[in-house]
Structure 1
Amino acid sequence: MIELKYLTKRYGATLAVDDLSFTVRPGRVTGFLGPNGAGKSTTMRLILGLAAPTSGEVLVNGRRYASFPRPMREVGALLDANAVHVGRSAYNHLLCLARTNGIGPRRVTAVLHHVGLSDVARKNVGGFSLGMKQRLGIAAALLGDPGVLIFDEPVNGLDPDGIRWIRDLMRSLAAQGRTILLSSHLMSEMALTADSIVMLGRGKLVAEATIEELTARYPSLEDAYLALTASSVQYGAGGPGR
């Protein structure tokens, strides 16, 4: 599981994450919601050791991410589908990642097949659409067959068939007993995919509940989100900001 305990992160005068505590449990998809600027991306970076907390701690299966000798076997993540070497083929991109964690080439072939990229495995990633890059990023997350998976907006760039595929994948991974943290702005899709919701506003926890609990209090998940985050939406002079 993923455990956040009184997690705080400051960037100068900006308080990005404010005394945040919640738990992401195995065997379910936990939706991660919040307006732009709410602290979701910072929180995911803190979980993955890409940023250091100002105070508090975050543990994955009882340990800090940085303590894992082969982290891809413990945690898989997709944060940015465009974070790829465009001069490499899909196969070589994954093979480079696999070698850093003691993962063999057979697993590379297997995950490419799993995400539907076998036919383009030897093509350069630079020619991929965003949807294809999303599938490649998911393949990278699955490489180490980890028990914990973190996905940030994985349906971006996908067509309706791809979106349904992502939904079914998330549900099947959770059914295997894995811990899934899924961030998305698509409320209708989140309502179909997630079992429970963690909601942030201005770096603080504003809600932690099951989908059933939220939709019992509000007409829909979207209505719950808009009501609970209304005071957390931040706009700059030029309109909505991130």
Structure 2
Amino acid sequence: MPKLISLFLGFALLGGFALPAAAFTPDNGEISRLMQRHYGGLTSWEAVMTFPEQPGVSAHVWHSRGRWRQEWQGEGAARAVGVNGRVVAACTQQGFPLSPLFVWLPPSPVATWQSWGVGIASRSFGFCGDAPCLMLGAEPGDEVSPAVHLHNESGTPLLVRYRSGPGVITVRFGEYRTVGGFQVPQRLSVDLGGTTLEARVEWIAVNRADSDSLYALDTPDVAPCAEPPAPFGLLRDSFRTPTLE
């Protein structure tokens, strides 16, 4: 992002207001280049989610270009593989949850966000918590419309909001650190329309989860298999990834 834009943004933010889309905000190509510069080389990752309010429960997640594998541990253990928002195979009988990490950084981010209903043409600068950010898809104060908030310098996703049935789901990402040359979030929260789930994220590796064997259809068929305690059921029943619009 040009230094002039950053300087102008700084003065505006010190004045306590958000800048409208016409005021030097980047176009689609510039946003795509920002994401490519910071995340273009990221093809796969491995991380473990834990839940402060549910000690002893964890979700080990592998992800590569839309393919994924999950292994949940708690009082029981459960495994599944899938593609994007679809569970392809699971060892459980009552369905399997999707991970909020799946919406963190989709392939071809700008095009994907648009397919999720985010109106990229609506752009403004403001604050996301303490971080200066670029708000895509919704004006400041709009808590309903599909939106993506990016740190205005690093391009790190801070918020992803999208429609789900009659309501909206909001996923927030924070406490970024560098792993393998990429900024990744160590904390996330999911707002499921009145219910909020907090999670910590421990990153195991980046660009080392591309093996086809990880995502093979027969991978989950390993005994024993039992449904772990919460928040397994909450995410299974209430969390959905975005549908294409």
**TM-score higher than 0.5 here?**
no
Please state which structure has a larger fraction of its residues in strand.
2
Please state which structure has a larger fraction of its residues in helix.
1
